Amino acid sequence: MTPAEKRLWSHLQKIEGRHFRKQAQIGPYVFDFAEMTAKLVIEVDGGIHDFAPVKVRDEQKQAWAISQGFTVLRIPNAQVFGTGDPALDLIMAALRTVDGNSGQPAR
């Protein structure tokens, strides 16, 4: 795991009532984190995700996950290390959205 993934993982483990998996194999892909009950997958994106071939792969992976009923949350590394834990705020908002709309994707 990258430093950003390690930091986020430590926060995800503290969310009550949720069970996140790290490096979650779902179908043909591995996602950084997944909460299967909420059908939420989280990808932590560093600089490599700015390269065209990686962007294409990310788009295919995300399209597949959405087609399977998952919500995909992409979080830049900078937000994981930001003041006030903006990544955790994004995750909690996504969980509320998923819970409130019967699991339909909210991108």
| CATH number (domain holding residue 69) | 3.40.960.10
Q: Reply yes or no on whether the pLDDT at 41 is more than 90.
A: yes
70 in a domain, yes or no?
A: yes
Q: What is the pTM of this model?
A: 0.81
pLDDT of residue 100: 72
48 in a domain, yes or no?
A: yes
33 in a domain, yes or no?
A: yes
Q: Which residue has the higher pLDDT, 48 or 88?
A: 88
Domain that holds residue 81: 3-95
pLDDT band at 47 (very low <50, low <70, confident <90, very high): low
Number of structural domains found in the chain: 1
106 in a domain, yes or no?
A: no
Q: Reply yes or no on whether the pLDDT at 46 is more than 90.
A: no
24 in a domain, yes or no?
A: yes
DSSP states of 3-47 as a string?
HHHHHHHHHHTTSTT--EEEEEEETTEEEEEEETTTTEEEEEE-G
Mean pLDDT of the chain: 86
101 in a domain, yes or no?
A: no
**How far is CA 39 from each of CA 51, 64, 69, rounded to the nearest angstrom?**
27, 13, 7
pLDDT band at 102 (very low <50, low <70, confident <90, very high): very low
- List, as own/partner pairs, every contact residues 47-55 make where C-beta atoms lie below 8 angstroms and the sequence separation is at least 24, other chains included: 47/77
pLDDT of residue 105: 39
pLDDT of residue 84: 62
Sheet of 20-26, strands arranged across: 20-26, 29-35, 40-45, 71-76
105 in a domain, yes or no?
A: no
The whole-angstrom separation of Cα 94 and Cα 87 is 11
107 in a domain, yes or no?
A: no
